[in-house]
Structure 1
Amino acid sequence: MSPADDVDQAVQLSLATLRTAPPDSWDAKAGSLEWTCWETVEHLSDDLFAYAAQLGPKSPSLDVPVPFVWESRRPGGPRNTVHADRAAGPAGLLQVLEASGAFLIAMVRTASPEIRSHHVFGASDAAGFAAMGVVETLVHTHDLAEGLSLPWTPPAGLCSRALTRLFPDAPQDTDPWLTLLWATGRGELPGRPRLTEWRWYGEPRP
């Protein structure tokens, strides 16, 4: 599958799971996060939108992000450019997520493979931003699934491709989904302590 196809698959799987949530459950905390499930979907939507935006300029900056305004709606809430209209309800919230994913999918499909753009974890290319979008979608859907009491286990191949692109030091002989949770500070692997700090490596590699 192409990097854009991976983003599409991750977002559609996430949406299919989140659409089963009870409509009155969105103010629950999202797993171990300090955000509500509603705020976490807004944050995920914002991540996907921001990665798409980084690929937009013809000559992207390698030093700073595209300067959209980020605002938190409450103390301790996520700082986003993207916020969903609460009056639109959960269906509207998930439509915002799907639209943000579509922006990233389109930009990954059309951006020049030579483009490099800023990210705090290393200037990256379109395939790198696609992998970031996949990781954000998979792990934040995990957070949401915990808060909403929903089952969530994404495909091993999708996890493996994201790990290969962004986490070159992650073990390769363990379950890919459990390994991705470990690599993002959300779980443990046999013989390995839970990570309290983590990062990915977005720079293109030979």
Structure 2
Amino acid sequence: MLESPQNATPDPSGTPSTPGPVTPDDLDRAVRLAVDTLRAAPAAAWEVRAGSLEWDCWETVEHLADDLFAYAAQLGLRTPPDDRNVPFVWESRRPGGPANAIHADRAAGPVGLLQVLEASGALLVSMATTTPSTVRAHHTFGDSDPEGFAAMGIVETLVHTHDLAEGLRLDWTPPADLCARVLARLFPDVPQDTPPWPTMLWATGRADLPGHTRRTTWRWYGAPRG
């Protein structure tokens, strides 16, 4: 898989001044970095709360895996639905827990949990790679194309790994070029002169950004551009 930004002109700080398109390789990179980071968590830590979320860390990984699986499923039909999600049964395992179609076997422990995450990410990478760019499928924030769904998967991966890293006390700072491409694809309304990773955290309501009011609600814009 490619590790370097594509179709981008780097500036002296190492951040692309003109981010290129989001690719399936970008998604693969994000998932691999997340899984590698989360493997460092102690086995006893997974029941702590994930950052500012109401879910524990185990539930948050299941939710992330479920997001990636669901985005892959949206692209998986011969005629993708343009008005709804593919009708899997999403259900919570406890009151207030995330409503998922994907749940990991607790008996498999954290190793099995991260295998579920990695496999779900691979499904979306595959669908984003093989689905024609002309395909459009439903999402709550607007119908999108394979690039858009890959970008959504990256946002979910990066910010939920941030939530998990807070709960598990791990270091997590994803690459600036990866964040920049996703911001350019999904968040056209964010500042263009601030560092990409802090900007993504601000864009998703997770952090302050100097000179800008903290967001209490947020969304991305998945519609294809150009």
Aligning the two structures, in what range does the TM-score lie when normalised by the shorter sequence? Answer: over 0.9
Does 1:142 find its partner at 2:162? yes
Q: Aligned-pair distance for 1:3?
A: 1.3
Does 1:84 find its partner at 2:110? no
Q: Aligned-pair distance for 1:194?
A: 1.0
In structure 2, give the amino acid aligned to 1:59: T
Q: Deviations over 1:137-184 (max 9, x none)?
A: 000000000000000000000000110000001111101000000000
Q: Which runs of 5+ in 2 are unaligned?
A: 1-5, 7-21
4+ aligned runs moved over 3 Å, structure 1 = none
Q: Aligned-pair distance for 1:195?
A: 0.3
How many residues are treated as equivalent by the alignment? 206
Distance 2:179 2:97 in 1: 28
Q: Aligned-pair distance for 1:62?
A: 1.0
User: Which residue of the partner structure matches residue 42 of structure 1?
Assistant: 62
RMSD of the alignment, in Å? Answer: 0.6
User: Which residue of the partner structure matches residue 17 of structure 2?
Assistant: none
2:73 aligned to 53, 64, 67, which one? 53
1:174-193 counterparts in 2 under 5 A?
174-193=194-213
User: Which residue of the partner structure matches residue 159 of structure 1?
Assistant: 179
Q: TM-score, normalised by structure 1?
A: 0.99
Distance 2:30 2:137 in 1: 23
In structure 2, give the amino acid aligned to 1:189: L
1:95-174 counterparts in 2 under 5 A?
95-174=115-194
Q: Which runs of 5+ in 1 are unaligned?
A: none
Distance 1:68 1:114 in 2: 25
Q: Aligned-pair distance for 1:58?
A: 1.2
Q: Aligned-pair distance for 1:191?
A: 1.0
Distance 1:40 1:175 in 2: 26
1:25 aligned to 2, 23, 45, which one? 45
Distance 1:128 1:155 in 2: 19
Q: Aligned-pair distance for 1:193?
A: 1.3
| Paired residue secondary structure (2:189) | coil
Distance 2:145 2:189 in 1: 20
Distance 2:186 2:137 in 1: 15
Does 1:94 find its partner at 2:114? yes
Q: Deviations over 1:84-104 (max 9, x none)?
A: 000000000000000000000
| Paired residue secondary structure (1:41) | helix
Q: TM-score, normalised by structure 2?
A: 0.90
Distance 1:158 1:152 in 2: 14
Q: Deviations over 1:22-69 (max 9, x none)?
A: 110000000000000000000000000000000001111111011111
